Structure 1
Amino acid sequence: MSSPTAPTNSTSSVPCPHFPPCPGVQDADREAARVKAHHPDQGWRLLCNGVVLFEDTGELLPDGKVIAPHRPIPTPGPPRHATSS
């Protein structure tokens, strides 16, 4: 009789010990995986699924693929008119 194993992330052979399991590398919500290592002084953190997430929202996937930063870019509002008093 074999013992049950923890689910693995989609490209990682390391089982995720969390319940519910962390999203895999190929999942749209991969950034929601739990943090394994956090280095705020260097601006990055390692997620359970093997993704390195940088504070500028760029990512390095376990296979070496780079995901460019994707934080929202503020759009300028309508011009402000000076008011006279």
Structure 2
Amino acid sequence: MSRTKLLLDAHQLAPDAFFTDDQTDHEIRRSLVLAFMGPEAGIDLDSEAMVARAFDSMLRTGVTVDGGTRSSRPHAQLLH
């Protein structure tokens, strides 16, 4: 996945989130998975493969992590 596609996908999941150039692709995916699933996600958040699969699942199901009303989660504040 290209960096541009990742950032577009991340913006789709969390429109209000801000990502920096020094964040790795894994860190971006991990922060969104953590914000959506919470700290007790039940997956190894250090595993790039597991985080990537969770991130892809979030995209397929159309969830958002925006602190608003659309399928948001209480851990969304971790993004800010």
Q: Flag the structure with larger Rg.
A: 1
User: Structure 1 or 2: larger helix share?
Assistant: 2
- TM beyond 0.5: no
Q: TM-score, normalised on structure 2?
A: 0.23
Q: TM-score, normalised on structure 1?
A: 0.22
User: Structure 1 or 2: larger strand share?
Assistant: 1
Higher relative contact order (CA 8 A, sep 6+): 2
